[in-house]
Structure 1
Amino acid sequence: MTARHTSTQHAATETGAATERPPRRARPLWLLLTLTVLLGLMFLSVSVGSRDVAWADIVAAFGGSAEGFNEAAVAKRIPRTLLAVLVGAALGISGAVMQGATRNPLADPGILGVNMGASLAVVTGMAFFGLATATDYIWWGIAGAGLTALFVHVIGSMGRGGPTPLKLALAGAATSAALASFTSAVVLPRNDIADGVRSWQIGGVGGGTYDAISHVLPFLAVGFIVCLLCARGLNLLALGDELAAGLGQRVEASRVTASAGAVVLCGASTAVTGPIGFVGLVVPHVCRLLVGVDHRWLLPFSALTGAALLTAADVLGRIVARPGQIDVGIVTALVGAPFFIYIVRRQKVRAL
């Protein structure tokens, strides 16, 4: 038996061991439970607001026989709920892919500055290039997200040790702060766009419409497909570049392709909702505890969990601030910031 065959067999054994915990039979149960929770949250999202709408009124609204207020409330909340589900799923998958492609547990579109890069690109397009359509916003958002991801990776790779998790997180935080300042500099002199941009920069799904969904859905579909097709490659990258190459994986091509899918997801999402942070950080870590590290299961589960988390954040923001609302970007920050601190402290302890 050759050394290469032995290492290949060992790598396969490691992959199998990693994906056996938790037991395989538990995965479909967790997926079913998460899907059930998501459906329940979607019902709450449609029924809860400044004025609650009962199930009977929701059904009646579809038939056109509900009271005027109830019918209008349902008509507004349904696209809002669908947008929360789509964006939550996109951010959940993009976070899982970024963590897998970089082998960085701190990777997240918000922490790495990708969302802020998309935000600056959209604001710049609005201010200086007269962006007028949702599709224009999305293309600019994806371009800004991609350039920022590349810049952060280059900065985080400098010096000894290469792109370590902490260096990437620091580079992302510094880049995000700089881009936020640039965004403010672009917006402040432009009173014609200032109010809309300030509200959009908080991150929220309150402006969700069927038109916005129809524009962003093709981009999200492409991003979902690319990321899911990269699941096997991400499993091999988790073993290390040398072992992955020994198993026949084209390491850099796999990493670039997976990262491109993640950039499309977070760039398109940011273009329609504004920058929403920490979903991509929290969701993959929770999902690994439940279904293991096999990306063939982790990515779909991250999509469902991300959708559930963002929908729950939207519902919670409407409940605690009645009759007003708190945007989901604020709610996810309140949940995600302590989790980020916990992950950083855990990584520091492991490095000692």
Structure 2
Amino acid sequence: MNKHHTINSDALFRRNIFALVVAAAVLAALCFLSIAIGTRDVSWQEIVGALQGKMDTMGEASVTMRIPRTVLAVLAGSALGLSGAIMQSVTRNPLADPGILGVNIGAAFFVVIGLAWFGIDQLNSYIWLAILGAGSTALFVYLISSLGRGKSTPLKYALAGAATSVALSSFTMAVILPRNDIAGGAQSWQIGGVGGATFDSIQLILPFLLVGYFMSAIVARKLNVLALGEDIAAGLGEKVVWTRSMAWLSAVVLCGATTAICGPIGFVGLVIPHLCRLLVGVDNRWLLVFSALGGASLLLIADVLGRIISRPSELSVGVVTAFVGAPFFIWIVRRQRVKEL
């Protein structure tokens, strides 16, 4: 029996390693497409020249501008995919997602309040405001979904998050509309996108994302124990409250920092963990890694499609991910077993 189990485990490990290599190769190919495709057609020589640091032609200049945009799409997509996987694992809720639960909108609301009412215009301050807003919203939605008869269910959680998102979106618009000096930029940022990325802005959010990645790596195995049930996890010596708090904090830091620079981008954290769960199962040690790679790939695809669909202008990634994610959300809700993972 043990020998048979070991053989199955080895086969599963080899399969996951192969899938990991394929996922990394796909991500690398998408990075190249993100650099090569845009509103301006560029030649292979111009791509190579831009990667070597040259800016002698318009094509090389265009490619040079796409490089930080590609890097930001990878970082933001991986952060959103990872935070969605963590939220679904902690709550055992298939509908959990930073967008659906209102966490991204809460982060955006705090940033807009800081901009409009307190004159805060520094990105490093936006990051702290976004993390505070994301954490406050996550706590508020959890408390609301726990009210009434019975415990919090996935559907109650999603409804509380949707209601909170609508309310915060309305409050945000009420703050922005009277301010003509910030209305245009704030409304464009609220759609969600990676255009206009610079390495300076990426350097500001990178420490926060690295902290989020590190914390998620710490709790990956602990989330597997937590999935057995709180009583069993506590009986095995697991600190349930600490694990939940650490997991939630990592998710909040990841999606808060991402929202600060990209605006609220929805559905990445919903779609990707479900697809990765079909590929590698429920083991969070694998699931979190694949969710990060998958989120980065999805955001790159959305960004490239946005450039192609509406040439010579661009369609923001937030719009493209909404087109993909909304039908997926409806499909999940209509499934019979929607109570828990």
CA distance in 1, matches of 2:101, 2:26: 30
Is residue 114 from structure 1 mapped to residue 103 from structure 2 by the alignment? yes
Alignment match of 1:268 (pick from 257, 269, 272): 257
Contact 1:22 1:289 (8 Å CA) reproduced: no
Aligned twin of 2:132: 143
C-alpha distance in 2 between matches for 1:66 and 1:214: 22
Does the C-alpha gap of structure 1 residues 253 and 75 become closer, same or farther in structure 2, counting only changes over 3 Å?
Answer: same
Separation (CA, whole Å) in 2 of partners of 1:297 and 1:342: 25
Q: Which residue of 1 aligns with 2:86?
A: 97
Listed as ranges, the matches of 1:207-286 within 5 Å are: 207-286=196-275
Correspondence 1:1-352 to 2 at 5 A: 23-65=12-54, 67-347=56-336
With the length of structure 1 as denominator, give the TM-score of the two structures.
0.92
Does the CA-based 8 Å contact 2:332-2:338 persist in structure 1?
no
In the TM superposition, residue 334 of structure 1 has moved relative to its aligned partner by 0.4
* Other structure's SS at 1:52 match: coil
Instruction: Count residues with an aligned counterpart.
Output: 336
For 1:33, give the aligned amino acid. Answer: V
CA distance in 1, matches of 2:127, 2:339: 39
Distance of 1:131 and 1:257 partners within structure 2: 29
Unmatched runs of 5 consecutive residues or more in structure 1: 1-12
Q: CA offset at residue 99 of structure 1?
A: 0.4
Paired with 2:103 and 2:169, the residues of 1 have a C-alpha distance of 11
Flag the 1:65–1:279 CA change in 2: closer, same or farther, 3 A: closer
AA of the residue aligned to 1:215: L
The answer as to whether partners of 2:145 and 2:160 remain within 8 angstroms in 1 is: yes
The alpha-carbon deviation at position 284 of structure 1 amounts to: 0.5
RMSD, aligned α-carbons: 1.9
TM-superposed deviation, 1:310? 0.3
Q: Which moved more, 1:53-62 or 1:109-118?
A: 53-62
Match of 1:7 in 2: none
Identical residues among aligned pairs (%): 61
Secondary structure at 1:302 match in 2: helix
Q: CA deviation at 1:55?
A: 2.8
The question of whether the paired residues in 2 share the 8 Å contact of 1:22 and 1:291 is answered with no
Contact 2:69/2:197 (8 A) holds in 1 = yes
Check whether the contact 2:108–2:130 (CA below 8 A) recurs between aligned residues. yes
2:55 touches 2:64 (CA, 8 Å); kept in 1? no
Q: Give the letter aligned to residue 194 of structure 2.
A: V
Please state whether the residue corresponding to 2:175 is helix, strand or coil.
Answer: helix
Which moves more between the two structures, 23-32 or 72-81? 23-32
Query: Which amino acid is 2:94 matched to?
Result: P
CA contact (8 A) 1:134 1:212 kept: yes
| Equivalent residue, structure 2, for 1:4 | none
Q: Which moved more, 1:119-128 or 1:65-74?
A: 65-74
**Cα deviation 1:109-140 (Å, max 9, x = unaligned):** 00000000000000000001111211000000
Query: Helix, strand or coil for the counterpart of 2:12?
Result: coil
Q: Secondary structure at the match of 1:24?
A: helix
| Counterparts of 1:71 and 1:242, CA distance in 2 | 59
Distance 1:68 1:272, change over 3 A: same
Letter in 2 for 1:324: S
Contact 1:22–1:290 (8 Å) recurs in 2: no
Stretches of 4+ aligned residues off by more than 6 angstroms: none
Q: TM-score, normalised by structure 2?
A: 0.95
